[in-house]
Copies of this chain bind each other. A is one copy, B any other.
């Protein structure tokens, strides 16, 4: 991996930073954030502007270029990678280290008095603009929006913005029509006394209209905005895809509908001018609802007095609570996913043990192959983490030829993978040993398992936030002085983003929304020993009502039901470290895997994988 040579590019960028064709006044610094205009986790190639200008293509990082300097802020996961990928023009700013300045402080320290700092107002979230602008202003500088993206002006071979065909989802998948979702949204708007709602997150647009796309890798979304009024619906989307008869039929674009359900389709690029027109027509006390993570450009289009900002939109919250059709879809998706993994693990055992020819990449590809054989498979839901031995300790590892390691009977293998099916999204991690694990490996695995069970079997009152469950996952590890440095769970979409808000299980947040029956999250504690191995046990679980002996203040209780039904390798368990209750949990879980996945393997005629499943789900016996 050799660094990208950026001398010429930086020269060009510094020229356009002064070019009156693009900037009203010269800017002395230009900020290139990571994201796209929708604050997406996964971005399209045309939005990888920071990677283009710097060479560094990790998932998180912000570049700032001044007349003299070029600096890159990124976090601990990427120090090594950024150092490898960037040339000497760049200074690496290691976030999280004590002496690393913030972007604002650094700007103040290097800029000449009264400088202008430019940024694309569509890429920077409004809250971040506010913070940055305040610090710069107090030091005598100005943060200014630069309408034309300056990277795009010098990126001659910039890929086109993707504009792939859409998938329509009927009621059997979504449970609720887009019309009914609009009705529900409008009732939330009426409750909060707002007249307009601006949909800026791509998964929220997709969910609202029961459409999916493939403009971005892993997330089945498409580039679009929507503006919902009490009597109007505007969808901002480009391309021929809106000519597709199935899409037109789905959105009833050719029908004579009641006017309040008539969708006006407009060009993607016209969102700003349309929003400005909406704002111009507002009377006092009329409000427009936006996420507080929306871009500065769209937020600014609405004068402050008319803005209604919330951290979670009503769509984000509604989307998180899955209805019966979505839940059933998620169940089906997880059954198919489990079939694929039983096939994979059976295949690995046959290949790894005698031959030793399977690499991390081959295993990841094989997993994808088995998944793709399943009905309604669309794509993977994230880049497969296929890691063996010391690579397993790198939490966000993705095998590449330079690091690719061969699976063996001497090392632990960790596979964190998932897929998008038309009926649901999966995300599962299993940790396996194909030889004989050491007592220490088993001990660590068992603590992680105890944590996994503690969350999965937890009973808690309605209204509890997920972050209050995080310590349950760590308690067994903590007892022995161990821990893991990531959260325990994230929300999972229904044939949508594998990471979604507003709920999760993590010590890092306090602002998550309470868990509700119908929400779906992951449960994935782990343990990582640098240079040796990684362990993680991850199921996707559904929040369900719990039966309890008493019912304090009539609040009702909740618990989790695992949707993931893939055996947890009993060879890795030190059964003497489990309580009888934990042992029963494992046996009940395996019994369910055997019944549900066994039946599906049988139906699909996958007899060898079925035999593997039966063997792997033999009950544990605890010696008292």
Contact B510 A480 (CB under 8 A): no
Mark contacts of A555-568 with chain B using CB atoms, 8 A cut-off: 1 yes-contact digit, 0 otherwise.
Answer: 10100000000000
Complex alpha-carbon distance, A334 and B481, angstroms: 30
Complex alpha-carbon distance, A474 and B468, angstroms: 10
The listed residue (B458, B468, B483, B549) touching A481 by CB distance below 8 A is B549
Min CB distance A300 to B, Å, is 18
Most B CB within 10 A of own CB, among A458, A475, A478, A555: A478
**Which residues of chain B are near A468, meaning CB under 8 Å?**
470-471, 507
Contact A479 B507 (CB under 8 A): no
Complex alpha-carbon distance, A410 and B522, angstroms: 48
Mark contacts of A531-571 with chain B using CB atoms, 8 A cut-off: 1 yes-contact digit, 0 otherwise.
Answer: 00000000000000010111111010100000000000000
Contact A550 B482 (CB under 8 A): yes
Q: Does A461 contact B (CB under 8 A)?
A: yes
**Which residues of chain B are near A474, meaning CB under 8 Å?**
460
**Which residues of chain B are near A483, meaning CB under 8 Å?**
461, 552-553, 555
Complex alpha-carbon distance, A40 and B549, angstroms: 42
**Which residues of chain B are near A553, meaning CB under 8 Å?**
483
Most B CB within 10 A of own CB, among A461, A469, A472, A483: A483
Complex alpha-carbon distance, A551 and B480, angstroms: 8
Contact A549 B480 (CB under 8 A): yes
**Which residues of chain B are near A549, meaning CB under 8 Å?**
480-481
**Which residues of chain B are near A480, meaning CB under 8 Å?**
548-550
Across the interface, name the chain B residue whose C-beta is closest to A472. B471
Min CB distance A429 to B, Å, is 20
The listed residue (B481, B507, B510, B551) touching A557 by CB distance below 8 A is B481
Complex alpha-carbon distance, A470 and B460, angstroms: 13
Contact A479 B461 (CB under 8 A): no
**Which residues of chain B are near A479, meaning CB under 8 Å?**
459, 548
How many chain A residues touch B (Cβ–Cβ < 8 Å)? 30
Contact A552 B472 (CB under 8 A): no
Complex alpha-carbon distance, A480 and B471, angstroms: 20
Min CB distance A546 to B, Å, is 8
Min CB distance A473 to B, Å, is 11
**Which residues of chain B are near A510, meaning CB under 8 Å?**
510
- Name the interface residues of A197-233: CB closer than 8 Å to any CB of B: none
Across the interface, name the chain B residue whose C-beta is closest to A548. B481
Contact B471 A552 (CB under 8 A): no
Mark contacts of A445-475 with chain B using CB atoms, 8 A cut-off: 1 yes-contact digit, 0 otherwise.
Answer: 0000000000000111100000011111011
**Which residues of chain B are near A551, meaning CB under 8 Å?**
481
Complex alpha-carbon distance, A470 and B510, angstroms: 14
Across the interface, name the chain B residue whose C-beta is closest to A465. B507
**Which residues of chain B are near A471, meaning CB under 8 Å?**
460, 468-469, 471-472
Complex alpha-carbon distance, A363 and B442, angstroms: 56
Q: A483-B461, A483-B552, A510-B510 are in contact. Are A475 and B478 (CB under 8 A)?
A: no
Contact A472 B470 (CB under 8 A): no
**Which residues of chain B are near A557, meaning CB under 8 Å?**
478, 481
Min CB distance A337 to B, Å, is 31
- Name the interface residues of A270-311: CB closer than 8 Å to any CB of B: none
Complex alpha-carbon distance, A553 and B507, angstroms: 18
- Name the interface residues of A551-602: CB closer than 8 Å to any CB of B: 551-553, 555, 557, 579
Complex alpha-carbon distance, A579 and B474, angstroms: 20
Complex alpha-carbon distance, A557 and B507, angstroms: 17
Across the interface, name the chain B residue whose C-beta is closest to A460. B478
Complex alpha-carbon distance, A482 and B552, angstroms: 5
**Which residues of chain B are near A472, meaning CB under 8 Å?**
471, 475
**Which residues of chain B are near A548, meaning CB under 8 Å?**
479-481
**Which residues of chain B are near A507, meaning CB under 8 Å?**
468
Across the interface, name the chain B residue whose C-beta is closest to A471. B468
Min CB distance A483 to B, Å, is 5
Across the interface, name the chain B residue whose C-beta is closest to A556. B481
Name 14 interchain pairs, CB-CB below 8 A, sorted by A. Answer: A459-B479, A459-B481, A468-B507, A469-B471, A477-B552, A478-B557, A479-B548, A480-B549, A480-B550, A481-B546, A481-B548, A481-B552, A482-B550, A483-B555
Q: Chain A: residues with CB nearer than 8 A to chain B? A: 458-461, 468-472, 474-475, 477-483, 507, 510, 546, 548-553, 555, 557, 579
